[in-house]
Structure 1
Amino acid sequence: MNNRMKYNKVFTTLFNINDSQLNEDFTFNNVENWDSIVHLSLITELEYTFNIMFETEDILSFGSYENGMRILEKYEISFNDV
């Protein structure tokens, strides 16, 4: 399973959605059930999945599907393996 698939699986599992819904519009402001508890679950699951530890600044700015990939790239997680 490549990194994009792992990343998508975290989102689809937590938000109970299909991959097709993951795009630039999938943001904290646009997703009704993306609240603080789901946000922390998302961060925790991504840390576990990619064996990393987010900095506080990254946790606070992780507000969208697209931005999340940019943040993960700071931790040397590549999404070019699609």
Structure 2
Amino acid sequence: MELQRLRDVFRTALDLPADAPVDDLHYQDHEKWDSLAHMSLIAALEDEFDVMIDTEDVINMSSFGEATRILGKYGVDFNG
């Protein structure tokens, strides 16, 4: 459930099709994930999961996988 929410946030924030694979996305490896889109993604993640992401984590969120790890620090459970 939470993993699907995360996928949906990535697709929406990065303006990707609803069925676009995102699990292997990396920052700046995809044309739509630039610095501006990164800040939009962070804002969308904070809204969706009701968290405030620290600056260091904003900088370190370099992939979809890293986003799951970082959000886990804030209590979001992707294993359930």
Q: Same fold (TM over 0.5)?
A: yes
Alpha-carbon RMSD: 1.3
> What residue is the counterpart of 2:78 in the other structure?
79
Percent of aligned pairs with the same amino acid: 34
Shift of 1:14: 2.0
Contact 1:8 1:19 in 2 (8 A): no
Q: State TM-score, norm by structure 2.
A: 0.88
Shift of 1:19: 4.4
**What is the number of residues matched between the two proteins?**
79
Q: State TM-score, norm by structure 1.
A: 0.86
More relative contact order in 1 or in 2 (CA 8 Å, sep 6+)? Answer: 1
2 CA distance for matches of 1:48 and 1:23?
A: 20
What stretches of structure 1 of length at least 5 have no aligned partner?
Answer: none
What stretches of structure 2 of length at least 5 have no aligned partner?
Answer: none
Matched, 1:21 2:25: no
Deviations 1:19-57, CA, capped at 9 Å, x for gaps: 452123x10131112111100000000000000000110
